[in-house]
Amino acid sequence: MSQPYETIILDTDDQGIATVTINRPKKLNALNTQVLEELSDVFTTIQNDESVLAVIVTGTGDKAFVAGADIKELRALDSPSGKEKSRKGQQVFQQLEDLRKPVVAAVNGYALGGGAELAMACHLRVAGTNAVFGLPEVGLGLIPGYGGTQRLRHIIGQARALELILTTKQIKAEKAYQWGLVNRIAEEDLEEAARSLIHKILENGPIAVRYAIEAVYQSGKEAGFEKEAELFGSLCETEDFVEGTSAFLEKRKPDFKGK
């Protein structure tokens, strides 16, 4: 699967891992309207393509994952169009988070503003040793507007989220790992590290993986318990559940069929 986007490269390997690469290297992959529109299209394609099992999101080059929303475009905004811009980006990033296939950000350099927010909308994050995270918005007289005020506090907690947002300080991979913003630091090849994390996930029951993502993202404790129990019950009627438990009892590796 490969499609003619101008600002995105979509590549799917023979193991069903789609790589979405933001491709505006001259502008450090900054997110302009076209990138967001193309991303939305790509996420819909991935959602509808059953052969895609997992997704990697990254940026072209070795300098930036994404250096934020395109500041040139932001300059022209007024109150209604600014709100609309924020809403649009929130929706596109939510499409990504709503994918029920594991999504891993491979952060290859600067992930600033909207770029950090894009990484946060991925289910998991692997950082290259050169990764730098930051929310520079208040320094531009703005606030994070692509979901960052909400997601960051869920991922690293309110105090650290406020510190990053209010001070605009940038943190490198090691600190991002200590703070729980990234799951792993790739000591060598970043893409390989992202793939290896995905392969580890794909060894497990596919329906169970999908439902686990859905349950973890269910907000509200009571609604979360309800969702967890409902999905747990559904899984008890899958062939994968019979296979997984039989394999354990028979001391062999399971062979999941996703049924």
Contact flag: residue 153 with ligand HXC (CB under 6 A): no
Contact flag: residue 147 with ligand HXC (CB under 6 A): no
Catalytic residue list contains 230: no
Instruction: Tell me how far, at minimum, the Cβ of 121 lies from ligand HXC, in Å.
Output: 12
Instruction: Tell me how far, at minimum, the Cβ of 128 lies from ligand HXC, in Å.
Output: 15
Instruction: Tell me how far, at minimum, the Cβ of 54 lies from ligand HXC, in Å.
Output: 26
Catalytic residue selected from 6, 37, 73, 137: 137
Which residues between 197 and 256 bind ligand HXC (CB under 6 A)? Answer: none
- Closer residue to ligand HXC in complex, CB, 166/242: 166
Total residues found in the chain within this entry? 259
Q: In what order do the strands lie in the sheet with 124-128?
A: 8-12, 17-22, 54-59, 103-107, 124-128, 184-186
Burial class (CB in 10 A: 0-12, 13-18, 19+), 205: buried
Decide: 53 and 98 in contact? Cβ < 8 Å: no
Catalytic residue list contains 191: no
Contact flag: residue 172 with ligand HXC (CB under 6 A): no
Only segment of 66-74, 100-108, 149-157, 237-245 that touches ligand HXC (CB under 6 A): 66-74
What is d(CA 251, CA 224) in angstroms, rounded to the nearest whole number? Answer: 33
6 backbone dihedrals φ, ψ, rounded to 5°: -90, -30
Q: Which of 18, 22, 30, 198 binds ligand HXC (CB under 6 A)?
A: 30
Alpha helices in the chain (DSSP H): 33-48, 71-74, 79-97, 114-121, 148-156, 158-167, 173-178, 190-202, 206-217, 221-235, 239-249
Is 219 strand, coil or helix? Answer: coil
Chain contacts with ligand HXC (rule: CB under 6 A): 27-28, 30, 67-72, 85-86, 89, 110, 112-114, 136-137, 140, 142, 144-146
- The catalytic residue positions are 117, 137
